[in-house]
Structure formats: C-alpha cells, structure tokens
Amino acid sequence: MGGDKKLFTPGPLNTSMTVKEAMLKDLGSRDEQFLQAIRDVRSSIIDVAGVSSDVWTTVILQGSGTYAVEAVLQTSTPRDGGRLLILANGAYGKRMETMCKVTGLDYDIIKSSEILPMDLIQIEEQLKSGTAYTTVCIVHCETSSGVLNPVEKVADLVRQYQPGASMFVDAMSSFGAIPLDLENIDFVVSSANKCLQGVPGFAYALCRKSSLEKCHGNSRSLSLDLADQEKNMVATGQFRFTPPIHTMLAFLQAIQEFKQEGGLPGRAKRYSENCEALKAGMAELGFKALVNEEHASYIITCFLFPSHPNFSFKTFYSNLSAKDQIIYPGKVTDADCFRMGNIGHIHLEDIAKLLATVKEVLAEMDIPIPVTY
C-alpha cells in the first residue's frame, strides 16, 4: 500500500501513528469504558475552549464538519419567526446559504470579497436595519482563502444591536489553534480531524447552555437536532444513534498529544512556524499569495497560478501526488489559485520536503524558477 501521503490540505489531515493506533480496539456503545470516553471527549473540548462546564456543553455529532454547521442552523432557528443573518466571504459561508435554501430557513446574507475579512461597518448597518435575527453566522478562518474574520468584534456588535440573537461561529479550521474569546458567542463548531488532530468521523458543537435550552423543538431534522442529542446524552450518557467509537478513542489520544505540545499556544506556534516557512519558501520560488499578509491566517495559504504556458494545475497536482505530496485546488470564485495547508501532523521537515518537491516538479514541467506572473 506504500507509506502515508503528506496532506497539505484543509482536511482530511495527517494524524500521528499513536492517534491511529488508539483505534485498534472495539468497545460496546454501552460499555462503561466507552461512556467514560464520551465524558472525557466532551470535557476535553470545553477545556480546549477555556470555558466553564457550568455555562457550556459539548454536543458531539456523527459525521463531518458540515453536519455540525447544519445542525446549529437547524437547532437555533425557531420554527416561527426564525431568521438568520449569514456573513459570507468565502465558500464555507456560502455553504450556509445553501443549507438555508435546501431546508427552507429564512435568511439574509451579506456577501463580500473573498480576499478580505468581513466589513464591520456593513455588518453594524445590517444589524441596525430593523430586521430581527435569531442567529448570526460567520466563519472564523475561511479555509477557502485563508482569510481570518474578526469574529469577536462581530459578536460584540450582535450583542449590542440584537441581544436576542444567537451568535454562531464556524471555527472548523481554527479551533484549538487560533485563540477565540467566547464571551459573546453562543455556538461554535469544529470537527475531530482539524487542529485537534484526531481522525475524521465526528464533529462537535460547543453550545452555551442557556442558548441551547431555548432550542427544543426547533430542528426540522431528527439526526441534526443538537438539543435532542444533548438531552439524550444528559439523560443516558449515550448517543442516540451508533456512536463513532474508534474515532473518539483516537480523539482522546489526540488530546493527550495536544496537551503534550503545550495546548493551544504550542499548536499555534508550530502551525505559525510551518506557515512562515511555507510562505517564505514559495516566495523564493516566485509564487504570489492571493491574500495580503495582514488578513491571512496561519492555517492555509492560496497561491496564484503562475503565468508560464506550461503551468497546468492538473499536472502540478499529479506530479506532486506521485511524490506523496498532496495539495488542494483553489476554492475562490475569481482567481486561479491552489491551496497549501500547514495544519495536522505536519512539521518543518515536511514543509522543507514539500518545497523541495515543488522545485523538482517545476523542473519536470519545464517551468523556470522563479516562476513569473
């Protein structure tokens, strides 16, 4: 089968061997050992967020990150008079609009440039416009571009102008690696195989208890109902439906490794160093980043396609993949670019190897270095 591919992507991401090994065990969904694992996973997420379990609860949901995003939209929107405000500056914000359309939720959306953070003045105006919102939604790190949004400032505005609304942050690709103050936030989601470096298989929503309590009966979907998932978990300590047992065992090992690395500051340091090395190395090869440094996160970077006629993303991607280096296509609408992520079980030596391989592949494609535009 060969060795592991190195994943410089927004996910799935590389995991350590010890995290993978933690899955080599079967447990029953009602075994006390597994019930303890559930309690540990839930409390570990509260600990990573640095909040109190008196005020917050973690709801774990089988599936990928999108399931948790959709679950928050479903659960937090009342059947009568519910209206969401979606703040979208990239593909993941826009996906929330698709969810509303598909499930018939009423919403307004502010769409703005994919290479800039959301504009606070525009948001303030909308919040003051007289329309009452029940949930305001934003993505923390727009993984489609790497842009970081000022979510805490948006949350302050929501509390100021729409105190009745819940504030929802999709922190899928930032939770555990970029600090987030939850003071004025009600719902935060992420998933197992992002910055906490478990394997894929479940997502989680950190919910302010007082906000979740108001949500019973809202969801138009049974499996995505966070209030019901939580109610059952509190009553029985178990999942409603088949739990992601192996994924949760892997996650507990991943949390140990997160702590060993120094928690969020440790992880932020490694990811920042990875990102710096990646950007410096790519700049040396002539590649230009799409997003200005001041708006960029240290999670993922978009690089513009160089203009040389021999450059084809398909060939670039497959030649890198043949050498076990996996990058990702672009996901912004109006620029030809590709993405390179630097999160997951990735270290400086992996970045160095990626850069050396990019150099080799450019030579194979007969594209002179530095590349030009």
Binding residues vs ligand PLP (CB under 6 A): 10-11, 64-66, 69, 92, 139, 143, 170, 172-173, 191
**84-88 β-sheet, strand order:** 56-62, 202-208, 187-191, 166-170, 135-139, 84-88, 107-111
Which residue is associated with the tokens 């909040």? 51
- Indicate the residue among 151 and 351 with the shorter CB distance to ligand PLP: 151
- Indicate the residue among 56 and 168 with the shorter CB distance to ligand PLP: 168
Q: Cα 155 from chain centroid? A: 18
Give the shortest CB-329-to-ligand PLP separation in angstroms: 13
The span from the CA of 255 to the CA of 195, in Å, is 10
The span from the CA of 286 to the CA of 292, in Å, is 16
Give the shortest CB-10-to-ligand PLP separation in angstroms: 4
- Indicate the residue among 141 and 362 with the shorter CB distance to ligand PLP: 141
Give the shortest CB-319-to-ligand PLP separation in angstroms: 24
Is the distance from CB of 273 to CB of 348 less than 8 angstroms?
yes
- Indicate the residue among 69 and 361 with the shorter CB distance to ligand PLP: 69
State the amino acid at position 87 in one-letter form.
L
3-state secondary structure of 56: strand
3-state secondary structure of 188: strand
- Indicate the residue among 5 and 95 with the shorter CB distance to ligand PLP: 95
- Indicate the residue among 140 and 323 with the shorter CB distance to ligand PLP: 140
Q: Cα 78 from chain centroid? A: 25
**Which residue minimizes CB distance to ligand PLP?**
65
The span from the CA of 125 to the CA of 146, in Å, is 26
Give the shortest CB-356-to-ligand PLP separation in angstroms: 27
Give the shortest CB-150-to-ligand PLP separation in angstroms: 15
| Residue 136, beta-bridge partner list | 85, 167
Give the shortest CB-295-to-ligand PLP separation in angstroms: 16
